[in-house]
Structure 1
């Protein structure tokens, strides 16, 4: 890989990791309601990408359902879970996305797992269970369960995109924003009274975080990822993007004081190792599926 492209990949991972920390700050530090934050992000994305709504691939119903799974449903659960959890733990649980996508591809696309990918799936699930399980209270974190549910919705959407023909990346991004903003805005109005006043009170920090999330993360990082996928093997790029959870954990510990004890160390190591095994062993179909899924980080 060229040094310039490697530097771009590192910058892309830094953007994704910093956005995890920034989102935690918005929903917990600024107390902006998570559903409203997600709705506002998709509203900006929709406004920017309106010209790309047409032509839309058919069937429309499948496109809308897929967009909702990977957009509104995924981010709503993710932000609510993030409000209740640490960014470090969330970044580890989010690694469930790849093994979930593999398992769903077996059910829906008749993929074969194979011994090594099965081993990687087991490692990932074991690592995540260690992270989300609280041995002191014998309970599982509700927030991290919501994050796990978010990754399932995103993975299901990724598999469904394989069944949509003629989909352009920016067109899909536009439909994700357009399909997600309406239900999220309605849910926020119902469940989060006073959300507009809270956002206005948060002021410029909230606006800056919102623009960063919608434009820098969704457009810059996405475009960079697609460009790198076009130049290099998907397995290589996916493996290198495992820097994102590692950077997130480091930022979470340094900037937010996230706990980082033996349980987090062991769980993170197992989960990331499992994802690495899956990434290095998956076939062409899985490479295409994860290329689609990664566009909505």
Structure 2
């Protein structure tokens, strides 16, 4: 992976990490119904990305499936889970996205996992588990929803690798459009008091929706969609483990969470694993292709 792309991915993970903290506040502290929150977020995305909506990528079923997995499905399940579980426990379960992505990329894309990358993945996962593990961990109803969110995100990422010649903005347009339709109907059917809760939260909720829509979805996710079109799915998946580390770091800065030796050791192991994955030597055939392109 090129240094510039690696730094872009670091920035994306930090934005996602802050969004995790913010989303917990929105659905828990402010009591905003999660499906309504996701609908409002993607409504902004759909409006901003409207000029890129047409023509519709083909086949239509695949772009709809990607939109449901990466957009409404993944986020709705995550935010529903955050209502009843802690961010640290959710961070552990979200790491299921790594083996999910690797398994699906092998089954659906025929990708292979080199032993050196496997070591980097293992070190990163061990480091994240050391940082985020808490005694008494149990897979509650909320964490099952988080696990389903991890699988939906992994499935969407792998499906995206099967789509050619679709720009990140067009992906965003369809993610926004499909998510608004699907989740808007779901929110109207199963949730109540949405607008009352939004009015009680006031302008901070409006600002949060704009941030998550414009900075997180349009900005960070567009960059990620661009990267996933350039690199293997099972290369990017372990690198996104920087997100839970960033979540913990921002928790220390914003909410003054304690930082102990266990967190330091786990963070160091995770970052070593990330570097091993990112700095993996390329096969000679890949280097030859790059020289021919240049």
Instruction: Say yes or no: TM over 0.5.
Output: yes
* 1:191 has 2:190 as partner: yes
149 and 282 in structure 1: CA distance in 2 versus 1, 3 angstrom threshold: farther
The structural deviation recorded for 1:5 is 9.6
Structure 2 counterpart of 1:41: 41
Contact 1:238 1:279 survives alignment (8 Å): no
Contact 2:172 2:218 in 1 (8 A): no
1:199-210 matches, cutoff 5 A: 199-210=198-209
Q: What is the rounded CA distance, in whole Å, between the counterparts of 2:91 and 2:32 in structure 1? A: 21
- Residue 99 of structure 2 is aligned to residue 116 of structure 1: no
Where in structure 2 are the equivalents of 1:239-258 lying within 5 Å?
243-256=242-255
Task: String of CA shifts for 1:225-283, please: whole Å, max 9, x gaps.
Answer: 67899999x99998886654333102224434657678767766666655554444497
Measured against aligned partners, the alpha-carbon deviations of 1:24-50 in whole angstroms (never above 9, x if no partner) come to: 111111110111111110111001111
- Mind listing any 5+ residue stretches in structure 1 that lack a counterpart? 285-297
- Across the aligned residues of Structure 1 and Structure 2, the Cα RMSD in angstroms comes to 4.0
TM-superposed deviation, 1:152: 1.3
Residues of 1 paired with 2:4 and 2:69: CA distance?
34
SS in 2 for 1:84: coil
Say if 1:131 and 1:268, in contact at 8 Å, map to a contact too: yes
- Give the drift of 1:78: 1.1
TM alignment of 1:118-267, pairs within 5 A: 118-123=118-123, 135-136=135-136, 139-222=138-221, 243-256=242-255
**Aligned equivalents of 1:185, 1:14: Cα separation in 2:** 28
Counterparts in 2 of 1:125 and 1:8: CA distance versus 1, 3 Å: closer
- 2:34 touches 2:80 (CA, 8 Å); kept in 1? yes
2-structure distance, mates of 1:223, 1:61: 21
Q: Which residue of 2 aligns with 1:291?
A: none
Residue 179 of structure 1: how far off its partner (Å): 0.8
Q: Where do 5+ consecutive residues of structure 2 fail to align? A: 284-294
Tell me how far apart the structure 1 counterparts of residues 258 and 120 of structure 2 sit (CA, whole Å): 26
Question: Counterpart of 2:49 in 1: which secondary structure?
Answer: helix
Q: Deviations over 1:167-206 (max 9, x none)?
A: 1110011000111111211221222111121112211111
Structure 2 partner of 1:21: 21
Contact 1:14 1:247 in 2 (8 A): yes
Q: After the TM superposition, which residues 51-66 of structure 1 pair with which residues of structure 2 at under 5 Å, given as runs?
A: 51-66=51-66
Native 8 Å contact 2:239 2:278 kept in 1 = no
Given that 2:113 and 2:234 are in contact with CA atoms closer than 8 Å, whether structure 1 keeps it comes out as: no
> What is the alpha-carbon distance in structure 1 between the residues aligned to residue 107 and residue 11 of structure 2?
36
Deviates more, 1:244-253 or 1:188-197: 244-253
* CA–CA distance in structure 1, aligned partners of residues 130 and 139 of structure 2: 10
CA distance in 1, matches of 2:138, 2:230: 45
Query: Is the alpha carbon distance of 1:179 and 1:235 closer, same or farther for their aligned partners in structure 2, counting shifts above 3 Å?
Result: closer
Give a deviation string over 1:93-117, Cα, whole Å, max 9, x none: 4344344222211111122223233
- TM-score normalised according to structure 2 size: 0.77
Determine helix, strand or coil for the equivalent of 2:173.
Answer: helix
CA contact (8 A) 1:89 1:264 kept: no
Instruction: Give SS of 1:249's match.
Output: helix
